[in-house]
Amino acid sequence: MSLIGAKVLRKEDPNLITGQGLYVDDLQPAGCAFMATVRSTQPHARIVAVDTSAARSIDGVLAAWTATDIANLPARPSSLPGMDMPLITGDVARFVGDIVAVVVAADRSTAADAAEAVIVDYEPLPAVASLGQALATDAPMIHPVLQGNTVFFQDYTEDLSAEFAAAPRTASLSLVNNRCAPVPIEPNVVLADWGPAGLTVWAAFQAPHHLRNTIAAFFGISQDTTRVIAPDVGGGFGAKINFASEIFLAAALSRALSRPVKYTQTRSECMVAMFHGRAQEHKVDVAFDDSGKILALKVQVTQDQGAYPDATGMGLPVLTTAMSAGCYKIPKVAVSWRNVVTNTTPVAAYRGAGRPEASYMIERVIDLVADETGVDPIEVRKTNFIPADGFPYQTHSPLAVYDSGNFAGALDELLRHVDYPALKAEQAARMADPTEKLLGIGFSSWLEIAGFGPPGSLEAFGHLASWESAQVRVQPDGSAIIYTGASPHGQGTVTTFAQIAADQLGIDFDRISVRHGDTAVIPQGIGTMGSRAVAVGGEGVKTASTRVFERAKKIAAHLLEATEDDIVVENEEFHVRGTPSKSVPWSQVAWKSFQPLELPAGMEPGSLDATVFQQVPNFSFPSGAYCCVVEIDRETGEVEIRNMYLVDDCGTVINPMLVEGQVHGGVAQGIAQALYEHMQYDESGVPRTATLMDYLVPAAPDLPGYVSGRTVTLNPSNTLGAKGVGESGSVGAPPAVINAVVDALSHLGVKHIDMPATPQKIWSILRGSK
């Protein structure tokens, strides 16, 4: 029986539910010292002096470093030339959270005391806290290498003035995609141990080989003596692919002190130090006709990069503009983008990275067109969808060639769960009765680019390559170990990859282990991000398993004196097709695969071992249709999500329980962005939401239950047919929620409301309407 599509319980769980998981902070080797950071309290300031003498005098303090102590080290990797992020900044602090000193002590609390004892003398400089301030004439500048604060500008790819002039109708929309903090419940943690035999770094990280390669290059040491281990990782959401400065500082300090150095970020540090996500502003123009048919679209994206542009962060608007047309056949699309620096925390990947911004924009545009024409939003979607037989579909962007999907099919499936006419009737009845809460119904037909990616795609973000590694190694007893470079942090990869391998190998799921996260053990690897683990890494496991199985069949045929083509495997027994009595168990085939005297002529011992660097020819394009029903309290402005209907098309499902978990988690973060979360700065650049008291990460009472459905179109770029699902929910949910909120308020003339749709914002709208 195939395990693909089976609800199999996770192999990961027994450790994690008993407290036997191993996260970096759980490690405390002999002699371990503790690092703490001193961070700028100023958004922008000249650093006049950093006095570490008091810190140094505390008993147990081993080091107190400022910029001068690391003068021989490069800047943080993944910086842009001339705008480098120093590991410790020496001359100027450019955001609240910029590291100005680090201390190391023999125990955790002494390190914290020492950090407190460092005295920094700042001379404040004028700061730019927002895109508006950064782009104003005569704005204060952050990096002298720039003229102003724009790092990169791409003008509209096409002039669409003729199309807009000729169009029956046009409309415009300005959108803010609110800055979010990723907030994995485990912050950044690193333990570096630099001994005579080399450097070992344990890090809460999504891509250990990527980090290993980078650390070795950073220190000019050899990769063979540099080992990175990502053990259990407490969530990543894109933020743990960034090269946090603390990783390199801990390693440098371990070298200097000849002892292990551990750094565990506090949550309050994490809120300003771990790179943020989203932080875009959009100006959108759309041309359409009276039937709601869209004729042309112009999108201008302004990306806030924070104080130091990061190579991944620079790519966010590229992805947003590539995916700007969403599920729709729009004859003319012109895009433009700009990357801008501000005196805020740097911005890079956060679950969805550039694609939630695109789906939010285009799905708001669809509802705007519906509102302008009076055509129902469902009809506007159906009028403009790329048809199910329209694939492959070349978009306006050379990056995005949609390979599969059935957008109308997903929307129809959604409408099987949602009683739309009844909801519309309820909405009208409630509107007429001022004692009732308002009702809003919002849809999103979303699509994303995932499964990163074809050759060249991840290289553009500084990775070694875009393949993923898989090694399948049968043990002498017929059990198997799978090694994957797609290091997980909650996805359940150990389970899904064992399911894939079990199917191909005919070895019991319980006798397959999956190992990951250690560069000394895994041949090579890229990592887990961009919803690629199953679509690329899982496909690699399938390819490698198939190779091993073919060789095992050869050995079995030899032992059974049969021809290879007649050999089948069932219940871990190889037998001749139609003759189950003539059989040899997997364990014997495995055992003999190591014994030269037992092997067919020409076969080497140890051949049941295959390593694959799996490539894929294209990205993947998960899609779906969501519906959100909200109730809004007319007195308080509070939004409550009454129903959330989710139809996903992630291609082949390996494990429905895990797919549901990924969708729920992504949707939760999407709802959070739409209703609750906003990393805010005051006018001067001081963060206003730098603790979990001020930044609202939703808890169980703040989120709804979900109704899930599914459609399946296969991914043609791998043989599994799987597309990836890690980011889907965060792409699909925000527009559904905001479309619902706007729908509930549209009778008051509301055409748009920026995220997060807080009670304050809605209350003012409702009050204004009285």
φ, ψ of residue 319 in degrees (nearest 5): -70, -40
8 Å CB contact between 355 and 314: no
- Residue closer to another protein (CB basis): 491 or 713: 491
Which of 1, 48, 165, 185 contacts ligand FES by CB under 6 A? 185
The rounded distance, in Å, linking the Cα atoms of 754 and 104 is: 44
Binding pattern to another protein, positions 108-147, x when CB under 8 A? xxx--x---x------------------------------
Which residues ranging from 49 to 68 are in contact with another protein (CB under 8 A)?
54, 57-59
Residue number closest to ligand FES, CB atom: 185
Which residues ranging from 266 to 295 are in contact with ligand FES (CB under 6 A)?
none
- Residue closer to another protein (CB basis): 28 or 222: 28
Q: What are the E-state strand segments in 150-225?
A: 150-154, 169-177, 189-195, 198-203
Phi-psi region of 175 (alpha: psi -120 to 50; beta: other; left: phi over 0): beta
Closest approach of ligand FES to the CB of residue 235, in Å: 5
CB proximity list for 394: less than 8 A, separation 6 or greater: 401
Closest approach of another protein to the CB of residue 693, in Å: 5
84 binds, among ligand FES, another protein, none (CB under 5 to 8 A by kind): none
The rounded distance, in Å, linking the Cα atoms of 528 and 211 is: 13
The side-by-side arrangement of strands in the sheet containing 33-39 is 61-65, 99-105, 33-39, 261-264, 189-195, 198-203, 226-229
The answer to whether the peptide bond before residue 453 is cis (omega within 30 degrees of 0) is yes
- Residue closer to another protein (CB basis): 248 or 706: 706
Binding pattern to another protein, positions 462-501, x when CB under 8 A? ---------------------------xxxx---------
- Interaction of residue 97 with another protein, rule CB under 8 A: no
Report which of 538, 22, 515 is spatially closest to residue 234, judged by C-alpha positions: 22
Which residues ranging from 446 to 505 are in contact with ligand FES (CB under 6 A)?
490
- Token readout for 344 is 């805020």
Closest approach of ligand FES to the CB of residue 490, in Å: 5
- Residue closer to ligand FES (CB basis): 69 or 727: 727
Report which of 253, 343, 313, 269 is spatially closest to residue 69, judged by C-alpha positions: 253
- Interaction of residue 664 with another protein, rule CB under 8 A: yes
- Residue closer to another protein (CB basis): 110 or 303: 110
The answer to whether the peptide bond before residue 392 is cis (omega within 30 degrees of 0) is yes
- Residue closer to ligand FES (CB basis): 60 or 704: 704
Query: Any idea which residue has 């039937």 for tokens?
Result: 291
Which of 69, 163, 186, 193 contacts another protein by CB under 8 A? 186
The rounded distance, in Å, linking the Cα atoms of 154 and 157 is: 8
The side-by-side arrangement of strands in the sheet containing 609-614 is 512-516, 480-484, 468-474, 609-614
CB proximity list for 571: less than 8 A, separation 6 or greater: none
- Residue closer to ligand FES (CB basis): 528 or 652: 528
Coarse DSSP helix, strand, coil percentages of the chain, rounded to the nearest 5 percent: 35, 25, 40
Q: Which residue intervals of 58-146 are DSSP H helices?
A: 108-117, 131-135
Handedness of CA 125, 126, 130, 133 (dihedral sign): negative
58 binds, among another protein, ligand FES, none (CB under 5 to 8 A by kind): another protein
Annotate 569-622 with DSSP letters as a single string.
EETTEEEETTEEEEEEEHHHHHHHTT-GGGSPTTPPTT-SEEEEEE--SS-B--
Task: Give the DSSP H or E segment for 520.
Answer: none
The one segment of 300-308, 407-415, 658-666, 758-766 that binds another protein by CB under 8 A: 658-666
- Token readout for 437 is 């809460």
Closest approach of another protein to the CB of residue 282, in Å: 26
The rounded distance, in Å, linking the Cα atoms of 211 and 616 is: 23
- Residue closer to another protein (CB basis): 186 or 403: 186
Task: Give the DSSP H or E segment for 468.
Answer: strand 468-474
Which of 423, 657, 686, 753 contacts another protein by CB under 8 A? 657
- Residue closer to ligand FES (CB basis): 197 or 700: 700
The rounded distance, in Å, linking the Cα atoms of 537 and 531 is: 10
Binding pattern to another protein, positions 249-278, x when CB under 8 A? ---------------x-xxx----------
The rounded distance, in Å, linking the Cα atoms of 584 and 592 is: 11
232 binds, among ligand FES, another protein, none (CB under 5 to 8 A by kind): another protein
- Residue closer to ligand FES (CB basis): 388 or 697: 697
377 binds, among another protein, ligand FES, none (CB under 5 to 8 A by kind): none
403 binds, among another protein, ligand FES, none (CB under 5 to 8 A by kind): none
The gap from C-alpha 512 to its chain's centroid, in whole angstroms, comes to 28
- Residue closer to another protein (CB basis): 148 or 661: 661
- Residue closer to ligand FES (CB basis): 235 or 735: 235
- Residue closer to another protein (CB basis): 32 or 399: 32
Query: Any idea which residue has 């198939």 for tokens?
Result: 546
Which of 222, 595, 691, 764 contacts another protein by CB under 8 A? 691
Query: Any idea which residue has 């399911």 for tokens?
Result: 499
Which residues ranging from 223 to 262 are in contact with ligand FES (CB under 6 A)?
235
Closest approach of ligand FES to the CB of residue 237, in Å: 10
Partners of residue 195 on adjacent β-strands: 198
How many residues sit close enough to ligand FES to count as binding (CB under 6 A)? 3
Which of 147, 699, 749, 770 contacts another protein by CB under 8 A? 699
699 binds, among ligand FES, another protein, none (CB under 5 to 8 A by kind): another protein
- Interaction of residue 709 with another protein, rule CB under 8 A: no
165 binds, among ligand FES, another protein, none (CB under 5 to 8 A by kind): none
The side-by-side arrangement of strands in the sheet containing 438-447 is 438-447, 623-632, 639-649, 707-710
579 binds, among another protein, ligand FES, none (CB under 5 to 8 A by kind): none
CB proximity list for 194: less than 8 A, separation 6 or greater: 200, 251, 254, 255, 258
Q: DSSP assignment, residue 80?
A: P
489 binds, among another protein, ligand FES, none (CB under 5 to 8 A by kind): another protein
Which of 6, 21, 170, 598 contacts another protein by CB under 8 A? 21
Query: Any idea which residue has 């790179």 for tokens?
Result: 275
Which of 146, 173, 703, 753 contacts another protein by CB under 8 A? 703
Closest approach of ligand FES to the CB of residue 182, in Å: 12
Binding pattern to another protein, positions 431-450, x when CB under 8 A? --------------------
492 binds, among another protein, ligand FES, none (CB under 5 to 8 A by kind): another protein
The rounded distance, in Å, linking the Cα atoms of 626 and 674 is: 14
- Residue closer to ligand FES (CB basis): 30 or 699: 699
10 binds, among another protein, ligand FES, none (CB under 5 to 8 A by kind): another protein
8 Å CB contact between 724 and 646: no
Closest approach of another protein to the CB of residue 186, in Å: 5
- What is the contact surface with ligand FES in residues (CB under 6 A)? 185, 235, 490
Residues contributing to the site for another protein (CB under 8 A): 9-10, 12-23, 25-26, 28, 54, 57-59, 108-110, 113, 117, 183-187, 232-235, 237, 264, 266-268, 489-492, 657-658, 660-661, 664-665, 667-669, 691-693, 697, 699-701, 703, 705-706, 729
